Amino acid sequence: MKKIITLLLFTGFLFSCATKEDVVYFNGMSSADNSIGLDSYSPTYHIDDELVIVVNALDPEAAKPFNKASVSVSLDILDARGRERIQTYRIDPNGNINFPVLGELKIAGLNRQQATIMLQGKLSDYIKNPIVDIETVNYRVTVLGEVQRPGTYTAVNERITLVEAISLAGDLTIYGERENVLVIQDYDGKKTYTRVNLKSNDLFNSPVYYLSQNDVVYVEPNKTRAKNSAIGAQTGVLLSAFGLLISVAALTVTIINTSNSN
């Protein structure tokens, strides 16, 4: 009986083992590898992006008409003072923003540098040497599935990589499928789906290595998690059946031993 139990435990141990290659990222990469970098990546603006645009000039009064007024925001209903917040521009379904004095401006499809140059050019008719600063305040990505902390995270510098997003979510759990991570992107209503292998150094040349605003990263469960889930749902039944079998076997052995002694 002891030999049978030992054999069962040993067999279970063998099936539960995983190799290093199953969980390590960027397999096959050596110190001599050199990949083409994507440091020039600059995200473009899309519908529903929320922007803060501040115009400055040597003469502050000249720039004043081109800036939205700050508003007082209070998180406490009893606090009448509140705090100031610069009003934002949300890109409408046509890809435009309504800018003071200048009117409607097409900004969707432009990156920060292009939008800045465009605004400076239009403002030059009214202001000498205008300075334009643009910031996206709702640049967020969502990470779901087999990660430690699923959720939505805000990118502080308007540029976040897939690796950084997964890191913010606490990395994959041991049950995360590393070879088939799904990235869902939405470009003005048109969704794209891209699969990424985190175990390959090809990740760094992937078109979704740098994530866009509102991207969704989904880490699906691996086969081990699926098997464990199936076992978990039937654990009570299996344990009861296993206990019954042991009891029957022990009773049978006792009866046989008693019969032999007589």
Tell whether 21 is covered by a domain: no
pLDDT score of 29 more than 80 = no
Per the structure, the complete domain to which residue 93 belongs is given by 50-136
Model pLDDT, residue 184: 95
Residues 155 and 172 in one domain: yes
Q: State the pTM of this model.
A: 0.65
51-55, 65-69, 211-215, 233-237: range with highest mean pLDDT: 51-55
Residues 114 and 162 in one domain: no
Q: What is the distance in angstroms between the CA of the first residue and the CA of the last residue of the chain?
A: 23
Lowest mean pLDDT among 68-77, 134-143, 247-256: 68-77
Model pLDDT, residue 50: 92
The token pair that represents 120 in the structure block: 């400076």
HSE, side-chain direction, 13 A CA sphere, residue 189: 6
pLDDT in tens, 1-16: 544 444 444 444 444 4
Model pLDDT, residue 178: 93
Cβ atoms 132, 110 nearer than 8 A: no
User: Residue range 250-256: average pLDDT?
Assistant: 68
Tell whether 95 is covered by a domain: yes
- Kindly tell me the burial class for residue 50, based on how many C-beta atoms sit within 10 Å of its own C-beta (0-12, 13-18, 19 or more): middle
Q: Which helix (DSSP H) or strand (DSSP E) does residue 98 occupy?
A: strand 96-99
pLDDT in tens, 210-244: 998 889 999 999 888 766 665 554 554 555 566 66
Tell whether 104 is covered by a domain: yes
Give the residue from 114, 136, 158 where a domain finishes: 136
Residues 174 and 146 in one domain: yes
User: What is the number of domains present in the chain?
Assistant: 3
